[in-house]
Chain A
Amino acid sequence: MIIDLHVHTKELSPDADRDAEEAIREAKQKGLDGICFTDHNRAWSVGDTEKLSKKWDFVVIGGMEVDTAEGHMLVFGLHEDIKKTMHVSQLRQMVDKVGGVIIFAHPFKSFLMFGMSDISLDVEQASARPALQVVDALEAFSGRAGESENRLAQDVAKKLGMKGTGGSDGHRPGEIGRCVTIFENDIKNEAELIAELKAGRFRADYFVGGRK
């Protein structure tokens, strides 16, 4: 089952240019089996995603991309808006209370202007980031990270024995499905998604329009 775990919508992300229904239409067209809306610090209600799921006969699950001091974290299971940036350790406590999961989004994505000319992080150094000890998985295939940044994330996941997910981080039309997570089992709802993520029964890859 192929799911884009990281998609933004105009409804809840001010920097997105495409609404939820357009995203679903695009995901279906591209041959995905499901989509997760992970807007910035804003949570979709289960009722709203269920309605969309029914209307489009498609798996639609709500998550969130939460800003933390250590970077962006994809969260599933938490259904409250986050008002202020926190540390990932604080987020961990909140997510544990609801039995959810945390995925470190694009962990090595750099800043816009970087020439990155003479700076390179090796796997050893990258793996030492303390925030990696606190999350359940990391996004090893991100549609918005560079190829070398994704490769580093994949190598770090391997070194730490962590699972890597994939998601487009799509904000605009045409971006859905560039990276995806491929689950071994069928998933119909949030609870099943969390269970499969926790069990590690998935792999990730580039997909439509990706760099593969």
Chain B
Amino acid sequence: MILDYTRCKHASIAELEENSLLVRVAVEDTFYAAEVEMVVGLPALEVTSIKGKVKRAFSDKCQQAVPLLNEVVGMRVGSGIIKAVNDLVGGPSGCPRLADLILEGFNDVILRYTMPPLREIVPLAGQAQLEAYQVYLRKSPRLVGSCIAFAEGSPYREGLEV
């Protein structure tokens, strides 16, 4: 079967020397291509600058949403950010696809910080891994119940007070 539609979305996080992250997200699909580049300051995790381009879209009108990217400058990658980005960059007078690229970047910032503890835990085997996850859950209680691995009845939650 020949594909009617293709999409490739790529996000990357690069560590900058001046205590910040360079977050790049690009999407290219059959009807649309755009990219967003943000600098996220550390340790505050606040967006200090952003630029972006709609490189190809079904309508030229989509370009009008690009200036809305500036609304995220000063936002912190933290609680409440999804609604804030969707409201300020997406929504009826904006572009949900640009908002999506920003949120993809934020999600990847979060995953970047999830990675170091996982690097320590994942290679462990059996009981050692189980115990390491239990320590991790105690340190990050919001993970409890966030997915099936940390749901009620999971061995990772044994002995954990919720």
Contacts and interface: CB of A to CB of B under 8 A. Distances in A.
Nearest to A122: B43
Interface stretch (B4-12, B58-66, B140-148): B140-148
Given A113-B143, A114-B114, A118-B116, A70 B136 contact: no
A115 B114 contact: yes
A125 B146 CA distance: 30
A111 B43 contact: no
A85 interface: yes
How would you classify the secondary structure of chain A's contact residues: helix, strand, loop or mixed?
loop
Contact of B79 (A71, A116, A117, A121): A71
B44 A121 contact: yes
> How many interface residues does chain A have, given as a range?
20 to 34
Interface string A87-124: 00000000000000000001011111111111111100
Given A85-B83, A85-B87, A117 B78 contact: no
Interface string A55-70: 0000000000001111
Contacts of B91: 84
A130 B140 CA distance: 27
Contacts of B72: 69
Contacts, number: 85
B140 A67 contact: no
A152 to B, nearest CB: 11
B54 to A, nearest CB: 22
B116 A68 contact: no
Contacts of A200: none
Contacts of B97: none
Contacts of B136: 115
B45 interface: yes
B79 A111 contact: yes
B84 interface: yes
A54 interface: no
A114 B43 contact: no
Contacts of B115: 115
B147 to A, nearest CB: 10
A8 interface: no
A85 B140 contact: no
Contact of B78 (A68, A109, A122, A125): A109
B57 interface: no
Interface in A108-148: 108-122, 125-126, 128-130, 146
Contact of B74 (A70, A121, A126): A70
Nearest to B91: A84
B43 A125 contact: yes
A72 interface: yes
A119 B140 contact: no
A85 B110 contact: no
A130 B113 contact: no
Contacts of A114: 110, 113-114, 140
Given A72-B79, A84-B87, 6 more contacts: A71-B79, A111-B110, A114-B113, A116-B140, A119-B43, A121-B43
22 contacts: A68-B84, A69-B74, A69-B88, A70-B75, A71-B76, A71-B79, A85-B84, A85-B88, A108-B78, A111-B77, A112-B110, A113-B146, A115-B115, A115-B116, A115-B118, A117-B113, A117-B117, A119-B42, A120-B43, A121-B43, A129-B44, A130-B74
